[in-house]
Structure 1
Amino acid sequence: MIVQRAIGFFRSFYVCGALSADEVGQWDLAFNFLMLAAPLTVLGIPGAFGRFLAKYETHGDQKRFLSQTLIACLVLTFASCTSIWLMAETVAEYFFGSTEFKGLVRLLAIGLPVVIFFNFSTSWFSGKRLNRFVFRIQFTQTLFFAVACVASLRLFSVSAKWVVISYLASCLIGVLLAFGYFAVEEETQDAERASDSAMDHTMWRKLLPFAIWVWVGNALENLFSLCDRMLLVNFYPDSGVDVQYLIGQYHTACIFPLLLMSIGAMAASTGMPYLAKDWEEGRQQAVADRMNLMMKAVGMICLAGSVGVLLIAPVLFGDLWKDKFTLGEALLPMALCFCSIGAISTVTQNYVWCIEKAWITSCFVLMGLIVNFVSGYFLVQRMGIEGVVASTLVAHLFVLSAVFIVCIRHGLRIDLGVLLIGIAILGVSAGKTTALFGFLMIAFLCLKSTLIIDARLRTKLIGQLTQRLRLS
């Protein structure tokens, strides 16, 4: 997984270096369009595989389950792609800012089925607990995308269109590989038991409500991450400025911060099974201890990562990118701040899952989306793109505060150290000086007090570090 993310990072770095700022903006909008349209098109049906596939697999209804969900997704995909093709001018105007991009929209309409069924296949194998297949498919897609980007941008024109084509081609490779794995997996499994014909009706009654909630959650998450771009496309006050140029600058500012947010997502997914086990066994204090430790760990990693990125930013944006993204460098501190807050928020939401109130997270994201849009609408008129980024920071801070309040009301005692790390992360938004000061203060507290790390854990960590240094 680390290698896969490293490949994706260097591919992003290469693409930004090769393309102009406005072309980077086109690629950013095209990619976000695919990420929004793919789950919306199929009503979140593949997202329900993790919950329902094991049930129908146990009863011998796996093939019928696959055929019915596949047919439904095919019909929905055809209808959606046809609509996008026919409404290309409208989509181009409101999503890309001009009808001149209707050709790009039609390319996305053609490629959308590939993205949908790439997601379908990975969700299918994940639901069957064949994670080795999922990893191989995703790794192959990531590697092919990186190679195709380098090759196409060198052999053909340097444009966002070829990055889009490379991405769609890599998803197609992933789908073909998934089909091969499906054929192998089908040959090795036992003969399927006879299916009950009543399954046709009962399956959809159980699956659709769950899938719709997944669909709503995905839509809110994607809209939340897309809101700032749409504010720039539709409400930027200066019509003489190329909005895609601004989005390209913003895209480069988010490359490094999004890595920090992915750390929070990985920590949340890894820690959830342990939290759930402790909760089900009645060890609420153990859950609280794990939660505080996870929030502190993710917060300190994000804080240290933010300081490191800010220190090397002049080299990255100046020497390597030749001062092409100076505005992106100026937006970097706020982007690092809101992505770090988002990472902590993702980890904290695990407690909401433990108390079985997962629907609350969707409500928080919806409220955060509203805050993002309303504050961004007013700030973009006064501050331009800086106002849009500031509104995103405010929205993430609102969501984290709301999650904290609910967790505290349901018995989670949040350590003072978590709040101190959060304050230090807020300092990142002001630039490298305050970020470095906050980092040094947290480091001092880690070494000289028990506010961040208690004495027992500190002694254990120092002992492990000393042992590793001796072995090396």
Structure 2
Amino acid sequence: MRSFCPTSTLPPLNDPQAVTSTKPETPASFAADSLAIGMLVVLAMTIIQRSLGFLRSIWFCRLMDDAVVGQWAMAFDFITMATPVMLFGMPGSLPRYVETYRQQGHLRSLVRRLLIATVACTGIFMVGLTVAPDWFGWLIFLESDNSQLTYSVAVGVISIIAFNFVHQLVSSLRQVRVASMMQFVQSVAFTLIGVGWLIRGGGLAGLILSFAAASLIAILPGGWTLAKGWRGLPRSETRFDAPSMWRRLLPYAIALWVMNLLSNLFEMSDRYMILHFTSGGEQMGQAAVGQYHSGRIFPVLLMSLASMIAGVLMPYLAADWESGRREAVVDRIRKVLAALSIVFTLGAAATLWIAPWLFANLLQNRYADGLALMPMAFVFYIWASLVMIGQDYLWVAERGRLVGIAIAVGLTLNLILNATLLPILGLQGAVIATLCAHATVMIGIGMAMAWCGFEFDLTLISISLLPASLMLGPVVAVASVCTVILVSPKIKRWIVEGIEPLAAKFGRPATMWS
């Protein structure tokens, strides 16, 4: 479950600080991309990036043995998921407050202080790693005597912090094309450098440094854009009130930090439990993580797509909610949940049907355990995708703390079940534990939605349970999807309404998405 927090680039209503005296904004400042262009660019880049990521994962699994693949998975997870927690959510606050402080003419002051805080947090992390490299090596790799790997992870952390800060700032300024270009450059550069390094016989430390180099290269488009438009930002004639800024920003940042912490711990907990609780020592643990990683290559693509859909959907839900159209919010979420569950279940069934051939040819029959666990992985990742859409409702209803409670309960259950089942059932026990934990989170989010006024009916409940049919095989899953569609007039009506965006290109209104 990836961390998610809805953001808005609009200043809050009735904010006395939202309008202040500023000098006129020059044409050199940042002109926001239109929403339509932004959505198209994000969709196109997401498809390209996920395709590259899939091919890169296949090559990594072919060029490394399962133990090294497990080490890479642990290093990548630590680099990408620990950094938001390490920075206490402060850079993540940029999307919420950039537009507000830009209109006040104080954006430079805001960014300068957040940059100083980010550098300070990074410095504290580096000091900690320098003082206790053996402990970090044990935590990440279960190897306390491999300082080369530990220090390569430190370089990766520094590079991704720099990349994320620039990317967050560019995205907050609504430079959608530039932000997407940064991600595209990072993906392409890492694929070329990383695969090239492994083909030449390079090791894991060099692969981690390849990721760091790709992240630094990807900063260039964003840095160029910021350098061009920075002078054109409006300047305020009033003095910047730093204490007021921190009083306003810190509660949001802390809430975001808590959500990132819980979400990332939940996402990483299964791999860490596999690494540290698998019997047989560090080699067996690393190999088990590698097998688990191979079984997640396809399912995780669905969750990435769901994350993009949830981010695109959020502004429309917020607009309906603030305009008093609460029924429209519920209607949109119902339709998206139904479409996502049906399409993802069919896609997973098709993948499971061809998976034996893919694993035999692309992965050289080296990841039998990964193939065996894939059906359950598809189920809990589709459930995680439904949770991403459902929690949009809680965020727009300003009940985001309920999301944290559901994730905290799921995380606790995941740790308990992993510790219990891993020694008994091995990797299969870890997958069962993660499946139960995701089911618990989905039920918790559903209960929270119902408590906040979202009405569930038999159709939506059956849609939520539909992915579980994948554990009985792709044929049963396809038959289940067809049955749900045929017996539910409501779903058939939603499918017809879902075609309207295509008709809108020919002049017809798209009522569902308007």
TM-score where L is the length of structure 1: 0.92
Say which of 59, 64, 68 aligns to 2:113. Answer: 68
In structure 1, the partner of 2:406 is 364
In structure 2, the partner of 1:264 is 306
Deviation at 1:448, TM superposition (A): 5.8
Q: Residues 82 and 264 of structure 2 are in contact (CA less than 8 Å); yes or no, is this contact kept in structure 1?
A: no
Moved more, 99-108 or 117-126: 99-108
Deviation at 1:461, TM superposition (A): 4.3
Q: Spell out structure 1 runs of 4+ moving beyond 3 A.
A: 237-241, 456-465
Distance 1:224 1:185 in 2: 39
Q: Residues 160, 415 of structure 1: CA spacing in aligned structure 2 closer, same or farther, 3 A cutoff?
A: farther
Give matches, 1:313-392, under 5 Å.
313-392=355-434
**Whose helix proportion is higher, 1 or 2?**
1
Distance 2:205 2:307 in 1: 30
In structure 2, the partner of 1:442 is 481
Within the alignment, does 1:458 sit opposite 2:496 as a pair? yes
Give matches, 1:32-431, under 5 Å.
32-157=77-202, 159-187=203-231, 189-190=232-233, 192-197=235-240, 199-239=241-281, 242-430=284-472
Partner of 1:357, secondary structure, is coil
Q: Residues 459, 125 of structure 1: CA spacing in aligned structure 2 closer, same or farther, 3 A cutoff?
A: closer
Deviation at 1:167, TM superposition (A): 0.7
Deviation at 1:460, TM superposition (A): 7.6
Distance 1:183 1:462 in 2: 42
Residue type of the partner of 1:196? R
Partner of 1:429, secondary structure, is helix
Within the alignment, does 1:29 sit opposite 2:67 as a pair? no
Q: Residues 61, 442 of structure 1: CA spacing in aligned structure 2 closer, same or farther, 3 A cutoff?
A: same
Q: Residues 94 and 233 of structure 1 are in contact (CA less than 8 Å); yes or no, is this contact kept in structure 2?
A: no
Deviation at 1:274, TM superposition (A): 2.0
Q: Residues 14, 380 of structure 1: CA spacing in aligned structure 2 closer, same or farther, 3 A cutoff?
A: same
In structure 1, the partner of 2:511 is none
Deviation at 1:449, TM superposition (A): 4.2
Q: Residues 67 and 283 of structure 2 are in contact (CA less than 8 Å); yes or no, is this contact kept in structure 1?
A: no
Residue type of the partner of 1:185? G
Distance 2:201 2:175 in 1: 38
Residue type of the partner of 1:20? D
Q: Deviations over 1:141-170 (max 9, x none)?
A: 11111111122112342x322321211111
Q: Deviations over 1:166-210 (max 9, x none)?
A: 1111111122332222111224x155234514x222111211221
Q: Residues 365, 330 of structure 1: CA spacing in aligned structure 2 closer, same or farther, 3 A cutoff?
A: same
Structure 2, unmatched stretches of 5+, are 1-44, 507-514
Q: Residues 311, 62 of structure 1: CA spacing in aligned structure 2 closer, same or farther, 3 A cutoff?
A: same
Structure 1, unmatched stretches of 5+, are none
Q: Residues 379 and 391 of structure 1 are in contact (CA less than 8 Å); yes or no, is this contact kept in structure 2?
A: yes
Residue type of the partner of 2:132? M
Deviation at 1:276, TM superposition (A): 2.0
Residue type of the partner of 1:268? A
Residue type of the partner of 1:166? S
Deviation at 1:50, TM superposition (A): 1.0
Q: Residues 364 and 399 of structure 1 are in contact (CA less than 8 Å); yes or no, is this contact kept in structure 2?
A: yes
TM-score where L is the length of structure 2: 0.85
Q: Residues 31, 419 of structure 1: CA spacing in aligned structure 2 closer, same or farther, 3 A cutoff?
A: same
Q: Residues 56, 460 of structure 1: CA spacing in aligned structure 2 closer, same or farther, 3 A cutoff?
A: closer
Distance 1:351 1:463 in 2: 22
Distance 2:81 2:308 in 1: 21
Q: Residues 291 and 367 of structure 2 are in contact (CA less than 8 Å); yes or no, is this contact kept in structure 1?
A: yes
Q: Residues 58 and 363 of structure 2 are in contact (CA less than 8 Å); yes or no, is this contact kept in structure 1?
A: no
Q: Residues 137 and 146 of structure 2 are in contact (CA less than 8 Å); yes or no, is this contact kept in structure 1?
A: yes
Q: CA RMSD of the aligned region, Å?
A: 2.2
Residue type of the partner of 1:458? V
Q: Residues 346 and 477 of structure 2 are in contact (CA less than 8 Å); yes or no, is this contact kept in structure 1?
A: no
Q: Deviations over 1:212-238 (max 9, x none)?
A: 111111111111011011112222233
Q: Residues 338 and 396 of structure 1 are in contact (CA less than 8 Å); yes or no, is this contact kept in structure 2?
A: yes
Distance 1:147 1:226 in 2: 27
Partner of 1:323, secondary structure, is coil
Q: Residues 35 and 222 of structure 1 are in contact (CA less than 8 Å); yes or no, is this contact kept in structure 2?
A: no
Distance 2:498 2:229 in 1: 45
Partner of 2:492, secondary structure, is coil
Distance 2:109 2:310 in 1: 33
Distance 1:282 1:193 in 2: 35
Q: Residues 416 and 451 of structure 1 are in contact (CA less than 8 Å); yes or no, is this contact kept in structure 2?
A: no
Deviation at 1:457, TM superposition (A): 4.7
Residue type of the partner of 1:161? A
How many percent identity over aligned positions? 30
Distance 1:247 1:231 in 2: 9
Distance 1:178 1:72 in 2: 20
Moved more, 169-178 or 301-310: 169-178
Distance 1:19 1:195 in 2: 58
